[in-house]
Amino acid sequence: MNSTRQHTPLDKLLISADTVLKTLIPGAAEPYRVSPARQEAELELSSVERKHAAGLMRINHTGEVCAQALYQGQALTAKLPEIREQMDQAAREEIDHLAWCEQRIRQLGSRPSLLNPVFYGLSFGIGAMAGAAGDQYSLGFVAATEQQVCKHLEHHLQELPSNDKKSRAVLEQMYIDEEQHAEQALSAGGIRFPTPVKLVMKMMSKVMTKSVYHL
C-alpha cells in the first residue's frame, strides 16, 4: 500500500506561504546543517573591510532569496511529479544558504537587503514561466542559474577580505552545493541554454548585485 500523501491545492498553498514567510522574514529560516562559519575564528576586520564583506554577503543572501522564489515558482508549474519533488528538495537545501548568509550578515553588524520582497516576486514569476514552458526548460533554467551563481561566488571569494575566514567558509560550501545542483539539473534532462539567453541572465544579475550591495 502506498502511504505517500498527495498534497491538495490547499496544502500546496499553505506550503508555499510557509516558504515565503521563511524566506522573507528575518531570522525565520532554520538551516538543516550547521554553518561552516562556526568552525572558523572571528578575526579582526577594519570598518571598511567589515562593510565590504557585509555587502558581498547581502548580495549572496538576496541570491538565495531569488533561488527560493525560482524553485517555488517552477515547482508550482512543473509537469512531472519527480521534477516538482526535485525542485522542492533543491529549495530545502537552499534554505541552508539563506540562513548561513543572514547569520553572517548579522555577525558583520549589518542586515539583509530591503529589496528582497521585490526580487522574490520577480524571481517567482520567472520560475513559474520556466516551469510552464516545460520541465526540460525548467531544469535548464536551474542549471544556467546555478552556473551564474557559481561565477558570482568565485568573484566574491576573491573580493572578500583575507581575514574574513567565516564568510569564506560559507561561500566555499555554497559553491560546492550550487555546482552540484547545476549538474543534477542537467543530468535530469535540462537543456543547455544558448549564450544570448545566458547574457540576458547575466545582465539581470548585475542589476540585482549593484542595488543590493548598498540596500
**Nearest residue to 100 (alpha-carbon basis) of 172, 182, 162:** 172
- C-alpha triplet 136, 137, 140: angle, nearest 5°: 85
Rounded to 5 degrees, what are φ and ψ at 16? -65, -40
- Helices H / strands E in the chain, number of each: 7, 0
57/110 Cα distance (integer angstroms) = 10
Rounded to 5 degrees, what are φ and ψ at 3? -95, 5
Is residue 178 a known part of a binding site? yes
71/93 Cα distance (integer angstroms) = 11
Is residue 181 a known part of a binding site? yes
172/208 Cα distance (integer angstroms) = 21
Is residue 64 a known part of a binding site? yes
User: What is the DSSP-derived secondary structure letter of residue 26?
Assistant: T
Is residue 93 a known part of a binding site? no
- C-alpha triplet 61, 142, 211: angle, nearest 5°: 35
The label of the residue with cell 510552464 reads: 132
Please tell me the number of Cα atoms within 13 Å of 172 on its side-chain side.
Answer: 11
Is residue 102 a known part of a binding site? no
Question: CB–CB of 171/160 below 8 Å?
Answer: yes
Is residue 214 a known part of a binding site? no
Binding-site members for Fe cation are 64, 94, 97, 146, 178, 181
Indicate the annotated binding residues: 64, 94, 97, 146, 178, 181
